[in-house]
Structure 1
Amino acid sequence: MKLRALAAVAALSVSALVAAPALADGRLAVTLEKPVSAKTKIVAGGAVFVCEDASCVATSAPSRALSVASCKALAKEAGRVSAFGGDAKALAAEELERCNASAKAA
């Protein structure tokens, strides 16, 4: 009986570790090269970005939102991006170049 209980606890622990990254939502901040004309909301990569002036913020973004594809979707609506990232990670310069290839014309 003790062995079954230990096995159940171990299985729950492993599943919690595997599921945690998928559930983790974080803050993403974006700096635009030029300010937006009015406060606006943009959905990109499953995150809702609120853009005002030259910054956009998603307060509860899934991990998949930190990607070049999400950056491209935001750039199509808001214009060229100079920084795109979260607390622990940000897009590199070459990723920002790919992102800005889809940017809205100024």
Structure 2
Amino acid sequence: DVLTPKAQTMIDTLNAFDYDGVAEIYNNPSVDASTFEASGEIIETYGAFESYGDVSYVADKTDDGIEFVRVIQIANYEKGKLTFTASFFEDGSVAGFRMAE
């Protein structure tokens, strides 16, 4: 599975508070570093990253029929868990990236 390491790279980059790095991986002109700053502020309140937990996958399609896969990755921190969803198109490009508490 090539998508889990890609998702974890995005999470690791966000955990390092490298918002420009996340935007670079995302590679979408409408997404810049400021898109990820609020997520970084939330991560700070969870303390140090400890490990990755369960991962799952969901296949889906955009409204215009383009297929993509969601990688749903649990990340364990000192003070709790966060759920990251990284979505990828078939060519490996990023379709979406979000975090939930």
User: If the length of structure 1 is used for normalisation, what is the TM-score?
Assistant: 0.24
- Answer with 1 or 2: which has the greater Rg: 1
More strand by share: 2
Whose RCO is larger (CA < 8 A, sep 6+)?
1
